[in-house]
Amino acid sequence: MVKIAPWNEWGATPETVQRFAQEVCTARDTRGILIAPSGFSPAALRTAQELRIEAVDAAGLDAAVRALPGDKSDFLFVVTTAGDHSTPSCPVCLKKLRHVEQETLELPSRTIDTDGLIADPVVCDRLDVSSGCEVTFLQEVRARTISISGHASGDFVCEGPVTLEAGGMLSGKVAARSLVVRDGGELLGQFRILEGELGSFVKPVVRWHWRCSGTEGHAGCASVIFEPHQ
């Protein structure tokens, strides 16, 4: 089993090696080779020796391949990219994973805690503007609930309540089901109460992941899910 260190752990640590060793143990009669783009720390090398994991420094491997004659380098490239190298394998049964797509209607929540301008459209479940933060939305904001503890400017449409906490100030046009202004909160602009049904804020989003089909009958296959990096 060959694996590259996680994208956010370029330099392998003892914990990186230990996690990989646990994956190797789930597959019978399998050797483990771990590749780290920025090499291994001394402690990680000791852990790899103890757990019988072969540690490969990616920079050293690249230098060795580049030093080969052109025909041998080309041969290695052809061999290592043969087959379906773009589809990951299950660490339990070693079979290829399947690409699964799901349509979701969930909206993310969003917290604004830094000053500045937001030019992109904002559509979310709950919007929070933190205390001490001053932000201007250049496009209409649509949310199910809004809570303002800092200073926010723009146009807002809220499916539920808008709450201005103590010290919170909202400037612009606001359309919402209700408005709650705590002591010390302030609204500068126009407010309109929404009535009747609103059009859905939610647009279907297709998300995908890799999943093991579990055809080999291994108990651990059902929990193998690889999600793409955002």
Same domain (yes/no): 60, 8 = yes
Pick the closest to residue 58 from 37, 44, 76, 33 (CA basis): 37
Calpha distance 38→4 (Å, rounded): 11
pLDDT for 198: 62
Let me know whether 7 and 66 are in one domain.
yes
114 and 189 assigned to the same domain: yes
Asked, for residue 151, whether it belongs to a domain, the answer is: yes
Strands (E), 58-214: 98-104, 110-112, 116-118, 122-129, 134-137, 141-148, 151-164, 169-181, 186-193, 205-211
| Cut 0.85: pTM above it | no
pLDDT digits (tens, 9 = 90+) for 84-101: 778 888 877 878 898 888
DSSP letters spanning 43-74: HHHHHHHHTTEEEEEHHHHHHHHHTS-HHHHH
> What are the tens digits of pLDDT across the range 105-132?
677 889 999 999 998 888 888 999 999 9
96 in a domain, yes or no?
no
Query: In angstroms, what CA-CA distances link 54 with 13, 23, 108, 170?
Result: 14, 14, 41, 59
The domain total for the chain is 2
- Band (205; pLDDT cuts 50, 70, 90): low
For residue 213, being part of any structural domain is answered with no
Residue 206 domain-assigned (yes or no): no
Q: Which residues pair with 146 in a beta bridge?
A: 127, 162
Q: Which of residues 178, 193, 208 is at a domain's end? A: 193
Q: 76 and 12 in one domain? A: yes
Asked if the structure places residue 17 within a domain, the reply is: yes
Positive or negative, the CA dihedral 9, 12, 17, 20 is positive
- Domain containing 28: what range? 2-82
Both 174 and 137 in one domain: the answer is yes
What are the tens digits of pLDDT across the range 55-71?
998 888 888 888 889 88
Encoded tokens for 190: 């126009």
